[in-house]
Structure 1
Amino acid sequence: MREWSFPCPNYNAIHNQLCKEEQDLYMTQVAHLDKTAYMHTAVEGGRLYCLKEDPRKMTLNRSYHNFLFVLDLTLKILFWCLVLSFIASWFKPVRDVFSYGEPVVKHVPFLGAAVFNEK
């Protein structure tokens, strides 16, 4: 879900420092490689060897990871709504700020009840 960057400024200089036999033995020129195929192979290897997933159940595994991602996001949102509701219930200035967004805030779980609690 994120873009990863692994800068290696000295990697490009390795090829020039190796002798001809070592250049043939070690693949240091990656400019001619198909990066899409490489990444596909790397991801498949990570799934197979790191996550111990069965390659025959790829769609099921993908669905499971998507479910975990959505569950994680939902729980984070509910947690922060709960934290904000505690803060709003304890501090009147925070309640006043949230009351400006009444059309939306009143439907937010935990927070709407804490801000618009009729006493």
Structure 2
Amino acid sequence: MFIGTAVIYVIVGMIGGIMMGAKQDFTLAPAHAHLNLIGWVSLALMGFYYNANPAKAASRLALIQFWVSTIGLWIMIPGLVLTLKGLPPGERIVILGSLITLIGMVLFAVSIFRPVPSTR
């Protein structure tokens, strides 16, 4: 789930990067960077972690963390695009998305540091 979603984000990010290059308009470069770093890199790393730790991957926390991270990014990136284009509601939207994305990362940290329950 994490890695598959990350691959979708990198494809979208690459298409956006190619379009910026073709137009020589790099106004949206910060949105492109955030999509690639959070969407591609962070989600892929989370996916690799969960693949190496199947007991944690099967947890409810991992599922919640995936959706919180994903929804945060879905809100953050459009908000960042609006902000970069100078449209007023963008700042509030990007702040909301950023905070939700941060919560997703905190949940990931909790997942990492929480011990795996014993099956005895």
Using the size of structure 2 for normalisation, the TM-score is: 0.31
**Whose helix proportion is higher, 1 or 2?**
2
Select the structure with the greater relative contact order (CA < 8 A; seq sep ≥ 6): 2
TM-score, length of structure 1 as denominator length: 0.31
- Structure with the greater alpha carbon radius of gyration: 1
